[in-house]
Amino acid sequence: MNGLQDITVTVEEGAVGEPSAQVLAIASEIAGQLEAWLATGETASIDLRSLPMAPGDYQALKALLGEGEVSARLEALGPSDIYETAVPGVWWLKHRNANDEVMAELIEITDCPGILRTQAEDLSSAPGQLRERMQKATVEP
């Protein structure tokens, strides 16, 4: 055997099949949080790294929630992939670092994840930034 590629790994059929009890528990927590949001207006989020997941649970949860209409990519300290799942108001956020390694992974129950909005702190310098860009564009050949 020369390397890792020589170790045969069989991915069992139906690995993403029936969701396990753990996946169903997370899903009902999300359902409860959606109801709470409707009732009280309070949004919520779940840190996926804080949950004990068996092999295959992650994929099963992803499959269960599906993919919705919106997806966005953020470039800040590395890429982040953010999309709304097939369930309206349930967003999946995966933050990676510059080496493409996962820094955090969250599910947010909200109408729009806060990090996607233009940040007030960045907005204050926006007019100046645009003026600077205009100046550069006209002065430089």
Partner 1 sequence: MADNETLGEQLRRQGISRRSFLKFCAATTSLMALPPTMVSAVAAALEKARRPSVIWLSFQECTGCTESLTRSHSPTLESLIFGAISLDYHHTLQACAGHFAEHLRTEVIDKHPGEYLVLVDGSIPTRDDGVYSTIAGMTNVQILEETAAQAAAVIAVGTCAAFGGLPHADPNPTGAVPVSDIITDKPIINVSGCPPIPTVITGVLAHYLTFGGIPELDELGRPLMFYGDSIHDRCYRRPFYDKGLFAKTFDDAGARDGWCLYELGCKGPTTHNACATVKWNEGTSFPIESGHPCLGCSEPDFWDAGSFYNPLSAPIGDSSDWAAPAIAAGAAAGAALGLYGRRHKADAEARREPLTARDLEDKS
DSSP per-residue codes, the chain: --SGGGS---PPTTSSSSPPHHHHHHHHHHHHHHHHHHHH---EEEEGGGS---TTHHHHHHHHH---S-EEEEESSSEEEEEE-SSTTEEEEEEE-TTS-EEEEEEEESSS-GGGSPPHHHHTTHHHHHHHHHHHHHH--
Binding mask 1-40 for partner 1 (x = CB under 8 A): --------------------xx------------------
Judged by beta carbon, residue 50 or residue 138, the one nearer partner 1 is: 50
Could you tell me which stretch among 24-32, 54-62, 65-73, 84-92 binds partner 1 (CB under 8 A)?
Answer: 54-62
Residue 26, number of CB atoms within 10 A of its CB: 21
Q: Least Å distance between CB 120 and partner 1?
A: 8
Q: Is 54 in the site for partner 1 (CB under 8 A)?
A: yes
Report the Cα 113 to chain-centroid distance in Å: 9
Give the amino acid at 10: T
Return the residues of window 88-117 that contact partner 1 according to CB under 8 A. Answer: 93, 95, 97-99, 101-104, 106, 108, 114-115
Site size for partner 1 (CB under 8 A): 36
| Among 122, 128, 137, 139, contact with partner 1 (rule: CB under 8 A) | 122
The residues of the shown chain that bind partner 1, judged by CB under 8 A, are: 21-22, 44-47, 49-55, 57, 74, 76-78, 80, 93, 95, 97-99, 101-104, 106, 108, 114-115, 119-122
